[in-house]
Amino acid sequence: MNNMERRKKFYICLGVGTIAVVMIVTLGLIPVYLRATSKPSVVEEKCVPNLANDKISLAQVSLLDADEFAFNNAERSITIKLECPILDVDNYTIFANGEPRENTNHTKDSIMLSEFSGGATLLSLFALDTYGLPIFTSFQLYFGLITMPVRIFYANGTVAFNVVVNLNLTDNPRISQSGVTDDRGMITFNHVPPLTISIFAHTKDNQIALAGIAPSESQISLTLIPFNDGKKLNEIENREYLSVTTVGQSLQTISRSFITQANANEAYIEYQFVTSEVPGGYFGSQFNDYFSVTLRSEKGNFITKTDSMNGLGLGAFEFATGATGWSNLTVKVGSTPEKIRFDVGVSNVGDGAYPSTVNIRKYGADQCDDCEKECVKCTSDPMCSSACLNPPMRSCAFYLSCMETKVSCGADGYALGYGFNYCTKFSNALQSFSSQGQTWIWNTMNCLQNALVSPLKNCEKSCSTLRQIAFNAHPKCYIDNGVCNLPALDWPSIVTIVGKDLLTLDGFIQALKTGPQCIPTILQRINTQLQQALTPAKKIALLIVKVWFESL
């Protein structure tokens, strides 16, 4: 009798004050997986496991009516969709920000949810499929109900139409909404979450407008800043120390222009963000002060960087002063001299107390070769900054400001597709972890970032190689920082965040198996925890995690 003819199915049964795992051996194939010919369809065949080897369900899980990179309607129902109809409807549970979601509707391939509060929601699914294999997955979603009108004006007071306007969350700049102004200079953004946002507008003739605010349903009016507006022009590189500081809640800006020297290929600005909100004890609050740095060339090239206190992460700051390290923003230029302009803005968010400042210590142009490791000709290289050479603890900024800036691999590369994505999920799920688990998160995240410093510094440019280096670091970083000794209730959060990408990685599984008493220790802690008083949802989640560990 082969593996497909003899399958094990686990039922997690909840009784009054008791919980049990019952193993049922079934013979033959359940008809739901079969056509009338008893041969699996193309879609269903993808989900039929080899039970001798597969430890995680093969069913792909996706979202309907929601998007991890958009503003989602908090009043709209969403669906978690399985690729195949193999959900064991008796054995699943869902958490939103660590709290169980009750009264969900389901079929064998779908789970429907509704009524979300505005803001960030980490949605976590624990389930068994009908082959008895675990399904672990999570989605970081942002919900909102705010309808926010924005109106753009030219400097002369007339309305600006056909202007591209982007709205981004400063805590996660990959979450955005964009559009074009109408003939009244208006654009309306929908389902905006109640989190600090940045607004950036850009015209075809190289004018910009920017703001960082707490969203509201009142109209936001912005005035475009032309490329040429009579501001001071420095004919050569200027090394003067500049700064701009908040006044009330209105955006404060500073601008300069300069001419690049011949044979340069990058223009740059080196800046630092300082906020008294950090030593004041307001990190993580709605008083999430914002800044923006933009470089424009007279040929139309531009780049902008917006961020906020919470978006940078507490580890990016020296706590006593509220200052970050120095960072660079660069834009490509031609070999012939050209005019460059930078615009730096900063604003208080939430109230006008506790000022924030952006310092600029130098700007100019560099000759950056394909690989220059000594930071002599190309001081603007991100891997020349202290924040990239020594990634700070308690921050996910390395993946955007260092790795993706140094080697742009796009949405499917490791920096954006995995590193920043999962670092953000872990940081948003901190409250679901024990204090020991929180320490493990930050130590592990920092270990993973440090593993990438040397290859980036040594000019590794292959996206696939960088991805392999990064994933190879996961087992050691997880084990060395004590994953085997974490409390049992930390494990459901870990497995649902890392999901298939890591749980099916041979190196990670092998590290768990070879770590001294790692899996036996984890299972012992899970069994002990299951004897304690737990909510039904937590018991289901923990038992499904146990199923996975026992399969190893």
365 neighbors 264 (Cβ within 8 angstroms): yes
Over the chain (552 residues), what is each successive 10-residue block's mean pLDDT? 38 39 32 32 76 91 96 96 94 94 93 94 95 94 97 97 96 94 98 96 96 95 89 54 93 93 90 96 95 95 94 93 93 92 95 95 84 74 88 93 93 93 92 96 96 94 95 92 95 91 79 87 96 94 94 90
Residue 191: exposed, middle, or buried by beta-carbon count in 10 A (0-12, 13-18, 19+)? buried
Over its C-alpha atoms, the chain yields an Rg (Å, rounded) of: 26
Distance between terminal CA atoms of the chain?
22
pLDDT computed for residue 448 by the predictor: 96
| Beta strands 317-318; 242-245: pairing state | unpaired
User: Please, what's the b/e burial string for 297-326 (b: 16 or more CB within 10 A of its CB; e: otherwise)?
Assistant: beeebbebbbbbbbbbbbbbbeeeebbbbb
532 burial via Cβ count (<10 Å: 0-12, 13-18, 19+): exposed
Classified as helix, coil or strand, 401 is helix
Per DSSP (E only), the strands in 83-234 are 87-96, 99-100, 105-106, 110-113, 119-129, 134-144, 146-153, 164-169, 176-180, 186-192, 197-202, 208-213, 220-223, 233-234
Q: Are 211 and 165 in contact (CB under 8 A)?
A: no
Give the DSSP letter of residue 456: H
Res 75: pLDDT? 95
Residues contacting 25, CB < 8 A, separation 6+:
6, 7, 8
Question: Rounded CA gap, 193 and 214, in Å?
Answer: 9
Tokens of 544: 């499904």
pLDDT value at position 367? 80
Q: Are the C-beta atoms of residues 457 and 488 closer than 8 Å to each other?
A: no
β-strand partners of 247: 250
At 497 the pLDDT is 92
Domains and CATH numbers, the chain: 6-143 (2.60.40.1220), 229-380 (2.60.120), 389-515 (no CATH)
Q: What is the pLDDT of residue 527?
A: 97
DSSP state of 342: E
The reported pLDDT for the residue numbered 514 is 80
Name the phi and psi angles at 309, rounded to 5: -55, -55
